[in-house]
Structure 1
Amino acid sequence: MILSTGLASIILVGGFLLLVFIRVPVAFSLGLAIIPIVMLDIRLTPFIILDRMFQSYNSFILLAVPFFLLAANLMNSGKITDKLIDLSRVLTGWMPGGLGHVNVAVSMLFAGISGSSTADAAGCGKILIPAMVKEGYDPRFAIAITACSSVMGVIIPPSILMVVWGGVMQVSVGGLFLAGAIPGLMIGFALMATVYGYAKVYNYPTAGRPTLAGTWDAFRGAALAMMTPILVIGGIVGGLVTPTESAIIAAAYALILGVFVYRTVTLRDLGHIFYDTGRFASISLFAIGTASAFGWMLSFYNVPRLVVMSLTSLEFGTFGTALIIAGLFLFFGLFIDAIPTIIILGTVLMPAAAAADIHPLVFAIIGIVSLAFGLVTPPYGLCLLISAAIGGMNVMKVIPDVIIILLPMLLILLLIILFPEIALFLPQTLMPDSFG
């Protein structure tokens, strides 16, 4: 038999949601949901699933994912996170709510090195959550600000999500990195303003004023680590290296710092670091494969075209369509990991965004920022789960503080939708030939 678009969509989406509901991992749910369609439609064979998965893996740019993960793990194991915290303390610790500001600042610095929010939440949270509780901060606030600030890891370049987006959507990764810089900094400053408000209400202490000698030591200790974003982003924007080559450079540089410069990573540590990197990279890449097969199946049944026709007929305009896109990414991010969502929802909505005259870079930043919220919102909320586990507290007790902290971040997302020049300014300025 030949399945209609409606029936195929119901089987695909319904089967996927059912499998997720009964707690089958998302990557497996995406693959298993395709099987009934292949068995029912005479035009399809099981080899199509394997072929689409292989095609998605056969991408040079996706090699950047494991190398950025390796760089993040080496940074955490090499105590480089400690040096970033020392630098953040002298930069922001003198303000009311000092350690809260340090928490946000170190996430901004770490994001410019690793591209991974979960590595940020784990590495910084292990140090800062106990320190904040010891200084008299409410544990719920300490956990919430750690989780929410860690999402900048996927917004401030380099970002693993941007690498995946660029590979899947055929968009310049260098352009995406530049487009994410200003929105990421705006979210960071919004978080710091929220910390300041908390500090005034609850009378949280400063972390002390730094001495001139202490400031110099902090800058000197973190200087080599802060070279990483210059090497990575500068190399890509300058056209010297590809995103994959820049990720390899970042990992090699982190290895040299940890083993030879700071001498905080031993050969025994390297075994655990490589194992953890391989494990997390394989999970991400397997999800990319099954999500690509699922997304191809939706395209085979013309679902993207129907979405475009529906949105075009409703005449929402550029702003309305952008709001709907953000809302869909926010909703899907509640339940599904960001990488499969990019491949499935992003490819479906991309023609709709183009039809509404939304620039590909703006569409990408709206999607990535929206998906970042899913890292701190249950039931998925991976960064929130990590931070709550470190703080030894039930996730539901932290939710009220998370909501308060997310509100300014949502305002920044709305500003990006209203004023797309926020995302386009740097690409148009630094890469005018490609993004004029």
Structure 2
Amino acid sequence: MQSSSVVLPLDEASGRRRGLVAFDQILGVSIEVIAAMIVLAEIVVLFSGVVSRYVFHMPIVWSDELASMLFLWLSMLGAVVALRRGAHMRMTAVVSKLSKDRQVFVETFSVVASLAFLLLFFYPAWEYAQDEAFITTPALEISKLWHAIAIPLGCALMIVTAFLRLAINGRGRDVLISVLAVGALVVAFYFFGPSMKALGKANLFIFFVVIVGINVFAGVPIAFSFALATFSYLALTTRTPMPVMVGRIEEGMSHLVLLAVPLFVYLGLLIEMTGMAKAMVQFLASLLGRVRGGLSYVLVGAMYLVSGISGSKIADMAAVAPVLFPEMKERGAKEGDLVALLSVTGAQTETVPPSIVLITIGSVTGVSIAALFTGGLLPGLICGLALCGVVWWRYRHEDLSKVKRFTKGEIAKIFVVALPALVLPFVIRYAVIEGVATATEVSTIGIAYSLLVGLVLYRQFNFKRAFEMLIDTASLSGSIIFIIGCATAMAWALTQSGFSQDLAAIMKSLGGAKTFMAVSIVVFIILGSVLEGIPAIVLFGPLLFPIAREMGIHDVHYSMVVILAMGTGLFAPPFGVGYYGCCAVSKVHPDEGIPYIGAYLAALVLGLVVVAVFPWISLGFL
């Protein structure tokens, strides 16, 4: 490791570095264990609430309040784990094209930029927690300080983590240049702040387009890009006390319905570990194996079916790809075609409940999540049929002479093995419709069911891996929820600036509901490719949904169109990060899929247009 100031003797430098690495390991493992135990506690608390209410008719009045309090702690500690792992969502399409040496510098710059926000944010977060200390929670009757202190504590742990990353992995020259560059920008904005107030709404372009854009394209995590721009805008151009921004972030991260995110992520990992996903896919393959392009149809169907359980696209792909890809390659399928189809099915199944995006859009716009769960089934099916049309055309001359034909008896045997897994989506749906559990709680029923099936029937359960999955769940959930919190604060700042009224006026002047819908499709395809799905939904959902209502567009119909459009951008190269995640899961180079994905994307857009033109597809079963 190079040093930017004093050159230490080699032994002393190595010893100091070993000490930092050891401290980082101890701190990191401690935070991961605590975060994992909070995920486990959330599962136990919510499942206990369902059992006590539905079975014993004795609701636990404090369960939701405790779950909400633990959730904020989980989100902040999960964000710390994600920062330590480098797992915060970021756009790397531009950075990946740089030389290796410059990529290392950009990585250092992104950590320093994130650290700058955390240092600026810590004191307002502490002030906010102190203000909350005087409020008593209604059910548990304890100070709300226990809830709010999670934000400054999580912030402090992220500061320590960022410093450790720079000290252990950073090159001295890169760290020095990054610190000087970020410091110079902070000082410049501070001195020019008073004069910037006279610019009025031009500041919106400076902070929320230029600054956000530079940070995002430079590889700074999206959450920190949003937070830096919002903090700078509020501090320099308004008189808003900074603890107000902390309150908006806390509000965005504390919606109890978002607790479904970590629980469904864990459920998705669980069904893959217990072999339930493999059983479902094998049954579908036995049915369609002798059809030309049959395994591609299975891929589309498996993603639709598994997506209805896990809610996490990466978990879906990780469950399906290892099972299907080896057999599909043996039958002559090209790796590029496989990864292209798998990627596009990620977008196609975004509306299939209980998708995390459905839960997110319901929480930030007030649309009924039960209605979204019902309305999302058919749009995903329509887009799936469009993809199957491309599969039919590409594989219409496939040679099936060497493909094994399953007998009816073999199919029946495979069906019996797969039946417990096939039942799970219906268990989840029944629990929501019949009022057994809320959309937040229902995942715990799925987890309990999967544990039982994995232990008793499939006998495929690894306790060590199950604990590691709790840590992975905390990390992924922390990165998602932290984005939602920062995007909520950014959306609030945009609303307070009058931007929402201006946006509404522009959108209304476009010429009616059809034009508004067409523009929304284009906008969300672009936003999905640049910002990823959840940030785009959280940031622009509260601004555009009221306009859609005024134009007579049903909330659920608009939700389906927006989600499919966003998914199209998210999983479309060259910018869509979902595509690169799919390639990573499939272990296929991204360049392999480019020649094949165009036809699949065209079919997906066709399905999206059909869903947009015919509202009944989204509303027919409500």
TM-score interval, smaller chain: over 0.9
Matched, 1:262 2:474: no
330-339 or 213-222: which moved more? 213-222
1:207 is displaced (CA, Å) by 4.9
The CA distance in 2 between the partners of 1:62 and 1:206, in whole Å, is 48
Contact preservation (8 Å) 1:334, 1:374: yes
Match 2:308 to one of 98, 105, 112 = 112
Match 2:561 to one of 350, 366, 373 = 366
> 1:409 matched to which residue of 2?
604
1:230 is displaced (CA, Å) by 1.6
Q: 1:389/1:240 Cα in 2 relative to 1: closer, same or farther (>3 Å)?
A: closer
1:164 is displaced (CA, Å) by 0.8
> 1:296 matched to which residue of 2?
492
State the AA in 2 paired with 1:252: A
State the AA in 1 paired with 2:597: V
State the AA in 2 paired with 1:386: G
Q: 1:176/1:72 Cα in 2 relative to 1: closer, same or farther (>3 Å)?
A: same
Match 1:75 to one of 268, 271, 275 = 271
Q: 1:171/1:318 Cα in 2 relative to 1: closer, same or farther (>3 Å)?
A: same
TM-score (ref. length: structure 1): 0.93
Q: What is the DSSP-based 3-state SS (H/G/I as helix, E as strand, rest coil) of the residue aligned with 2:437?
A: coil
Match 2:203 to one of 1, 4, 7 = 7
1:391 is displaced (CA, Å) by 4.7
The CA distance in 2 between the partners of 1:9 and 1:357, in whole Å, is 30
Matched, 1:352 2:550: no
The CA distance in 1 between the partners of 2:446 and 2:244, in whole Å, is 36
Contact preservation (8 Å) 1:52, 1:292: yes
Q: 1:42/1:341 Cα in 2 relative to 1: closer, same or farther (>3 Å)?
A: closer
The CA distance in 2 between the partners of 1:379 and 1:66, in whole Å, is 29
127-136 or 106-115: which moved more? 127-136
Match 1:386 to one of 581, 584, 592 = 581
Matched, 1:196 2:392: yes
State the AA in 1 paired with 2:583: A
Q: What is the DSSP-based 3-state SS (H/G/I as helix, E as strand, rest coil) of the residue aligned with 2:509?
A: helix
RMSD: 1.9
The CA distance in 1 between the partners of 2:563 and 2:587, in whole Å, is 29
Match 2:595 to one of 383, 395, 400 = 400
Unaligned 5+ segments in structure 1 are 428-436
Structure 2 counterparts to residues 59-70 of structure 1, below 5 A? 59-70=255-266
1:126 is displaced (CA, Å) by 2.3
Deviations 1:283-318 (A, max 9, x none): 111111111111111111121211111121232x11
Deviations 1:411-433 (A, max 9, x none): 11101111111100011xxxxxx
Contact preservation (8 Å) 1:74, 1:251: yes
Matched, 1:327 2:560: no
Q: Using the aligned pairs only, state the percent identity.
A: 27
Match 1:240 to one of 436, 441, 450 = 436
Q: What is the DSSP-based 3-state SS (H/G/I as helix, E as strand, rest coil) of the residue aligned with 1:225?
A: helix
Match 1:228 to one of 421, 424, 429 = 424
Matched, 1:424 2:619: yes
Contact preservation (8 Å) 2:278, 2:319: no
Q: What is the DSSP-based 3-state SS (H/G/I as helix, E as strand, rest coil) of the residue aligned with 1:334?
A: helix
> 1:339 matched to which residue of 2?
534
Unaligned 5+ segments in structure 2 are 1-193
Q: 1:311/1:382 Cα in 2 relative to 1: closer, same or farther (>3 Å)?
A: closer
1:379 is displaced (CA, Å) by 4.2
Structure 2 counterparts to residues 118-133 of structure 1, below 5 A? 118-133=314-329
Matched, 1:25 2:224: no
> 1:434 matched to which residue of 2?
none
The CA distance in 2 between the partners of 1:173 and 1:390, in whole Å, is 29
Q: 1:165/1:205 Cα in 2 relative to 1: closer, same or farther (>3 Å)?
A: farther
Matched, 1:138 2:355: no
The CA distance in 2 between the partners of 1:97 and 1:395, in whole Å, is 23
The CA distance in 2 between the partners of 1:376 and 1:312, in whole Å, is 30
Q: 1:204/1:377 Cα in 2 relative to 1: closer, same or farther (>3 Å)?
A: farther
1:205 is displaced (CA, Å) by 7.1
User: Where has structure 1 moved over 6 Å in runs of 4 or more?
Assistant: none
1:400 is displaced (CA, Å) by 2.5
1:62 is displaced (CA, Å) by 0.7
Contact preservation (8 Å) 1:97, 1:206: no
Q: 1:163/1:221 Cα in 2 relative to 1: closer, same or farther (>3 Å)?
A: same
> 2:88 matched to which residue of 1?
none
> 2:71 matched to which residue of 1?
none
1:348 is displaced (CA, Å) by 1.8
Contact preservation (8 Å) 1:72, 1:114: yes
> 1:430 matched to which residue of 2?
none
Matched, 1:88 2:288: no
195-204 or 341-350: which moved more? 195-204
1:20 is displaced (CA, Å) by 0.4
State the AA in 1 paired with 2:549: A
Match 1:178 to one of 374, 399, 408 = 374
Q: 1:164/1:390 Cα in 2 relative to 1: closer, same or farther (>3 Å)?
A: closer
Deviations 1:319-347 (A, max 9, x none): 11111111111011111121111011212
Contact preservation (8 Å) 1:113, 1:158: yes
TM-score (ref. length: structure 2): 0.66
